[in-house]
Amino acid sequence: MISSVEIQGYRGFERFELTGLGRLNLLVRTNNSGKTSVLESIFLLMSAGAPAALWQVLSRRGERLLTEQAGSPLTLRTEAEVRHLFRGHEIQPGSRFALSATNQTPPRSLAFDVAETSPVYLRDEDYYGIPLPSLALDVTGNPQPAIPRIPLTSAGGLSEGLEVPRRSAPRTAEPPIFIASESLTIDELVGLWNSVSLTPAESLVLSALQFIDPEIERIAVQVATANSYYRSGSRGGLIVKLRGTERPVPIGSLGDGMWRMLVLAIAITQCRGSVLLVDEIDTGLHYSVMSGMWRLIYNAAKELDVQVFATTHSYDCVYSLAHICADADERNPITVQRIEPGTSKAIPYAQNEIKIAADREIEVR
């Protein structure tokens, strides 16, 4: 389990540190204070700098480039705009950001350095004189990244679909999961559900939904999910059986809170021994179900050895977290991490301090 994280040169952070981390960690403060950037940095660190993780982080923020395909001005391709990962939104040879974690087994560190490569020119008669990319990301760290050098395009972008070689060593934990404020896509959620269905984890997911609607009896994948109509929608793909009804109901008919709870419950069962990161965890949830949501996540995190990092702007979310602090054990502590813009270190609140703050209505956000 990670006890502290250090960030250098990533997005808006020159240097930033989180300390005193626990099993469940809630990041709070105002907009544009860097909460999401902290989640991203942990996600990249736990993904060992995989190109797919970089693409996911950049894509979800809309940081993309549309460039012309070489030799075909009518053909556009999408690239991820890498410069936004670096402080100042610019890259040049020598630009760098570095991430590290302590008390993590195996020890974790990761650095991205922008390096200049020797220009190479295509020799095909149709494309003669067009240079190949002259910049690359050199990736170093512990464990050793699968791709130590990631080529960038001539526009300084990252191409989608860069293949990662298979590791020879066996994987000891599931990969981290990052849930953005808009939750997972249909394809992502159905893919995770297929790993949950007909396993003991299915009962945990069902219990999570019953916090919101006790009448839910079963969950299933909708047969028509393969149809493009359901793929394009944001709440399709899964159906539920309600007590006393014969026909199943699409999960999207039950509101955003139901979808959010479903996403949280499925995701935590699929990152055993790893990290779950959730941006704006309370999205769509009424304050009356938040204590149940926290209790489910905390108990599942302990059982599955998952470390949880989440963000919120909501006082109700912090107040609800305080309700479970009295029952939390010392081996699996709960923390609130307050991120002040322009400072180099988060202010940690231990679980007894979270409870006192809630009882006395002290603002910690």
CATH code of the domain occupying 1-47+271-365: 3.40.50.300
Q: Tell me what pLDDT residue 299 has.
A: 93
The domains of the chain are located at 1-47+271-365, 48-159, 184-260
Q: Compute the radius of gyration of the chain from its Cα atoms.
A: 22
DSSP class per residue in 190-251 = HHHHHHHTTSTHHHHHHHHHHHH-TTEEEEEE-GGGGSHHHHHSSS-SEEEEETT-SS-EEG
Q: Tell me what pLDDT residue 163 has.
A: 55
Distance between CA atoms of 81 and 88, rounded to whole angstroms?
13
Residue pair 338/29 in contact (Cβ under 8 Å)? The answer is yes
CA quadruple 249, 254, 256, 258: dihedral sign? negative
Q: Tell me what pLDDT residue 121 has.
A: 53
Residues in the chain, pLDDT under 50? 123-128, 166-170, 225-233
Residue pair 179/263 in contact (Cβ under 8 Å)? The answer is yes
Q: Tell me what pLDDT residue 68 has.
A: 59
CA quadruple 116, 164, 160, 9: dihedral sign? negative
Q: Tell me what pLDDT residue 146 has.
A: 86
Distance between CA atoms of 176 and 57, rounded to whole angstroms?
13
Instruction: Name the token pair of 350.
Output: 């231990």
Residue pair 131/121 in contact (Cβ under 8 Å)? The answer is yes
| pTM of the entire predicted model | 0.86
DSSP class per residue in 68-92 = EETTEEEEEEEEEEGGGGBTTS---
Cα 185 to chain centroid, rounded: 13
Distance between CA atoms of 127 and 347, rounded to whole angstroms?
55
CA quadruple 177, 179, 180, 183: dihedral sign? positive
Q: How far is CA 56 from CA 62, 159, 179, 302, 308, in A?
A: 10, 12, 11, 27, 19
Distance between CA atoms of 78 and 6, rounded to whole angstroms?
32
The DSSP bridge pattern shows strands 135-142 and 108-116 to be antiparallel
Instruction: Name the token pair of 171.
Output: 């994987």
